[in-house]
Structure 1
Amino acid sequence: MSQGNITLTGQHARLTPLLQDHLSDLQAAANDGRLWELFFTSVPSPENLATWFKTANEQRDKGLAQPFTVFDRIQNKVIGATRYCNIDSTNKRLEIGYTWYAQSYQRSAINTECKLLLLTHAFETLDCNAVEFRTDWFNQRSQKAIERLGAKRDGVLRSHMILPDGRVRDTVVYSILKHEWAGVKANLEFKLKRTPSAVSS
């Protein structure tokens, strides 16, 4: 399940390997909505951006993650980040996580297309048996978004993580299995045709 330097390109979005050169643009994207103030997300604050970047690259170097910068392909503008993480090559599983977008791009075609690109690569190129999604118990918006993809809820990991602020997080776990992929793909392609492309600017 070798990842390599992957670039995934769709009609609206382009996912490229995360680079140091992207950090100032990522900070600007996070400023759109001051996303780090949402306590249940993984969006880096301006003062934590360098640490966030270092951790992402350390995980990549260990073969456990593949971090991406998300671009609005039409405007060639950095609008967020996402990641393959918890990569388990032996059991052909991985998680899609650490995903966030500038507030003005949320609920647009960008998220739908990014998930379609990532899932297509995971199931059809990496030959995954399962792709997982995890989110904070309090992040109801994220749970609804994952369910709209067609993922099924596996359960809740109680007292799963101690967060930097000391809060002990319950984690909600979802997954899509290989035999479910054809239906999920058709669902995402249908949604993509009916979703507004992005912000008008």
Structure 2
Amino acid sequence: MTFLAPVTLTGRLVSLEPLAVHHADGLEEAVQDGAIDRLWYTSAPPPDRMADDIAGKLAQAARGAMLPFAIRRLADGRLIGVTTFCNPLPAVPATEIGYTWQAASAHRTGTNTEAKALMLAHAFDHWGCRRVAFRATWFNHQSRRAIERLGAVYEGRIRQDRVLRTGEVADTAQYSITDGDWPAVRRHLEALLAR
């Protein structure tokens, strides 16, 4: 299978669909659920910038730098957010999962856990990745807890390495899961989703 080739990943709670222009209206609605775009440390665009955000992600995908997904909740068919494979290192192979946001009503419902489980399985089992990284703005405590809950290992604080959309420079918390970690992490995620 080609690294970062578009694919649809479907579980019990969510389907991850290759991001497309036609997702804009549904994602505009999703980002307003809880005003996720107003959290200064997130990557969620405001509703009036959603089309531009999608175009930017699709341009990165065309360059082989990203594989973006729209997250669809299967219970009601609604779009609830976005996630991506990004910063690929095909020679290793390794990738990062990032630029993730979900509507507030989806938080703590298992949708993020399942989306990450689907992506991790794809990265490790289909692409043969040795490592999958996660990065979060240092002050995004909710995302950091979610990453840690997956079973990712904290690797450190990277100082002043990202410019937020507000123009502020911020630190990053970096995490990873390796192929050696994956069997135990998979079992852990299966247990979380069985609850």
One fold, TM greater than 0.5?
yes
Once residues 165 and 139 of structure 1 are traced to their aligned partners in structure 2, the CA distance between those partners, rounded to angstroms, is: 14
Partner of 1:3: 4
Query: Which residue number in structure 2 is paired with residue 139 of structure 1?
Result: 140
Partner Cα distance (2:35, 2:82) in 1 = 15
Q: Could you say what secondary structure the match of 2:166 adopts?
A: coil
1:64·1:88 contact (CA, 8 Å) conserved in 2? no
**Distance across 1 between alignment mates of 2:190 and 2:96:** 21
Cα distance in 1 for partners of 2:63, 2:24 equals: 21
Q: Deviations over 1:94-151 (max 9, x none)?
A: 0000111111011111111111100000000010000000000101111111101000
Q: Which runs of 5+ in 1 are unaligned?
A: 195-201
Deviations 1:65-99 (A, max 9, x none): 00000001122111111000001111211000011
Q: Is the 8 A contact 2:21 2:55 kept in 1?
A: no
Structure 1 distance, partners of 2:98, 2:82, is: 9
Q: Residue 127 of structure 1 aligns to which amino acid in structure 2? A: G
SS at match of 2:40: coil
Q: Is the 8 A contact 1:32 1:102 kept in 2?
A: yes
Please state how far the C-alpha of 1:176 moved relative to its aligned partner. Answer: 0.2
The residue type equivalent to 2:42 in the other structure is T
Alignment TM-score, normalising by the size of structure 2: 0.97
In structure 2, C-alpha distance between the alignment counterparts of 1:117 and 1:164, rounded to whole Å:
29
Q: Which residue of structure 1 lines up, in the alignment, with residue 110 of structure 2?
A: 109
Alignment of 1:187-198 (within 5 A): 187-194=188-195
Instruction: Quote the Cα distance in structure 2 between the aligned partners of 1:48 and 1:135.
Output: 22
1:122 aligns with 2:101: no
* CA-CA distance at 1:46 after TM superposition: 1.7
Aligned to 1:83: 84
- Alignment partners' CA distance in 1, 2:185 and 2:3: 24
Equivalence for 2:149: 148
Cα distance between partner residues in 1 of 2:6 and 2:146:
27
Report the TM-score when normalising by structure 1: 0.94
Give me the identity figure in percent.
39
Aligned residue pairs, count = 194
Look up the equivalent residue of 2:51 and give its one-letter code: A
Partner Cα distance (2:167, 2:115) in 1:
32
2:24 maps to: 23
Aligned residues of 2:16 and 2:70 also touching (Cα < 8 A)? yes
Q: Please give the secondary structure, in 1, of the residue aligned with 2:160.
A: strand
How far apart are residue 53 of structure 1 and its match? 1.1
**RMSD of aligned alpha carbons:** 0.9
Find the residue that maps to 1:96 and give its secondary structure: strand
Which aligned pairs between 1:33-112 and structure 2 lie closer than 5 A? 33-112=34-113
Name stretches of at least 5 consecutive residues in structure 2 with no aligned partner. Answer: none
C-alpha distance in 1, partners of 2:20/2:10?
Answer: 17
Say which SS state the counterpart of residue 179 (structure 1) adopts. Answer: coil
Distance in 1 separating the partners of 2:149 and 2:103: 20
In structure 1, the residue corresponding to 2:181 is in which secondary structure? helix
